[in-house]
Structure 1
Amino acid sequence: MKKLSLLILVASLASACTWVKVSDEAEEVVVGKEGNVRGCEKLSDTNVSVANSIGPVHRNSEKVATELLNMGKNEATRLGGDTIVPKTKPDDGRQTFSIYRCQK
């Protein structure tokens, strides 16, 4: 019983944490919409994923969405992009973003 209580406590605490941080370079990455990137160069699409649950405990959906966005921004800087556009909504800890370079 103590092990189960401890597991639930740890999972509850972990579900509230945001583990994926935005790199310093990615702080400047803009989250846009399709209409905002018409004059931009599309560099790539990226699929990102994070843990949606820890054992039987589901993580907070806002925290998961924030981590996915952070990963998308980090990936944009790795590829030389400055703008990301969500192609899909977060689903089961996964999301797809298009990466663009809009500033020359």
Structure 2
Amino acid sequence: MRKTLLLLVPIALLGACTWGITLDDAAKNVRTAWTGDVSSCHDLGKVTVSVMDHVGPVNRNDIKVRDELEVMARNEAAKMHADTIKPLGELTDGSQPWGAYQCGTAQLAPSSHPAGKPASPSSASAPGAFETFPVKGG
């Protein structure tokens, strides 16, 4: 019985990492400008969000961590009355800075892709390319 309990506790703790990180109703209207030019938008400030990127010696799934950071950034931006966020830097030790902007209905012009390649709608159909979707609750 005791051995079973010792095995179940770490599993429960690992599963608990994502509980409570949900997209607020107000944040559903906040868009993410991954590669868009926000120079025509009003800069409302910077938000730095963080989550646990590892539990003990076990690293968490990078995609899950990034999704959670985006949800948290959108939630914080909504509190600032922003309608757009954009990452200002890379994920480091579970933390990432985001810019919060008020863009209104302005279309965001594509800027260069973080890897230096221009972003294009047809690039998602290229071999090895991927497309992202909102996380659960978005």
Regarding TM over 0.5, the answer is: yes
Q: Give the unaligned 5+ runs of structure 2.
A: 106-138
Report if the CA contact (8 A) 1:12-1:57 is conserved.
no
**Structure (1 or 2) with the larger CA radius of gyration:** 2
| Structure 1 residues 59 and 67, CA gap change in structure 2 (3 angstroms) | same
> Paired residues, what number?
103
- Which residue does the alignment assign to 2:46? 45
Structure showing greater relative contact order (alpha-carbon pairs closer than 8 Å, 6 or more residues apart): 1
CA–CA distance in structure 1, aligned partners of residues 36 and 55 of structure 2: 37
Give the superposition deviation at 1:12: 3.9
| Large movers: runs of 4+ above 4 Å | none
The 5 Å alignment of 1:1-104 reads: 2=3, 4-14=6-16, 17=18, 19-33=20-34, 35-103=36-104
* Deviation digits for residues 7-26 of structure 1 (CA, Å, limit 9, x no counterpart): 332244335x4541110110
Q: What SS is found at the alignment partner of 2:37?
A: helix
1:94 partner letter? S
Normalising by the residue count of structure 1, what TM-score does the alignment of the two structures yield?
Answer: 0.83
Range moving further from structure 2, 28-37 or 65-74: 28-37
CA–CA distance in structure 2, aligned partners of residues 13 and 35 of structure 1: 34
Give the superposition deviation at 1:80: 1.0
In proportion to residue count, which structure has more helix? 1
Overall identity of the aligned pairs, in %: 35
CA–CA distance in structure 2, aligned partners of residues 7 and 56 of structure 1: 16
Q: C-alpha root-mean-square deviation of aligned residues, in Å?
A: 2.1
Normalising by the residue count of structure 2, what TM-score does the alignment of the two structures yield?
Answer: 0.65
